[in-house]
C-alpha cells in the first residue's frame, strides 16, 4: 500500500551501503557528534556551496570587457524587441 504524503514532516530517509554507513559512523565518532548532526551539517555546507556557485557568474576578462562595452554602447533594438515593446500594456 502506498504511503500518504506528509506535508509537515521534517524527516528524511536515506538508503546507503553498509560500508558507506560504517565510514560515516567512524567520522561521527571521531567528531564526537551524532549521525544526524554530522550528515546535516555537511550536507548543508555542500548545498550552500552549490547554490553560491550557481548564483554567481564568473566571466573571463574578455567577457567582462564585452559586457561593459554593451552596457555603454547598446545595440539598436531589432524587430522582435520592438514588437515585444509595442505589445506591452500602456502605463497610465
- Quote the pTM value: 0.56
How does pLDDT run across 43-85, given as a tens digit for each residue? 999 999 999 999 998 899 999 999 999 999 999 999 999 999 9
1 pLDDT higher than 60: no
Task: Report in angstroms the alpha-carbon separations of 18 from 15, 21, 24.
Answer: 9, 5, 10
pLDDT at 6: 59
Question: Within a 13 Å sphere around the CA of 12, how many CA atoms are in the beta-carbon half?
Answer: 9
At 66, list the grid cell.
564585452
State pLDDT tens for residues 11-49.
Answer: 889 999 999 999 999 999 999 999 999 999 999 999 999
More confident residue, 1 or 34: 34
Amino acid at each position: 500500500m502506498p504511503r500518504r504524503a506528509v506535508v509537515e514532516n521534517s524527516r528524511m530517509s536515506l538508503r546507503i551501503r553498509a560500508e558507506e554507513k560504517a565510514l560515516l559512523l567512524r567520522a561521527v565518532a571521531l567528531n564526537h557528534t551524532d549521525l544526524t548532526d554530522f550528515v546535516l551539517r555537511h550536507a548543508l555546507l555542500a548545498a550552500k556551496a552549490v547554490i553560491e556557485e550557481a548564483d554567481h557568474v564568473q566571466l573571463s576578462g574578455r567577457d567582462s570587457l564585452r559586457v561593459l562595452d554593451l552596457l555603454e554602447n547598446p545595440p539598436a533594438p531589432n524587430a522582435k524587441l520592438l514588437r515585444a515593446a509595442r505589445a506591452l500594456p500602456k502605463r497610465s
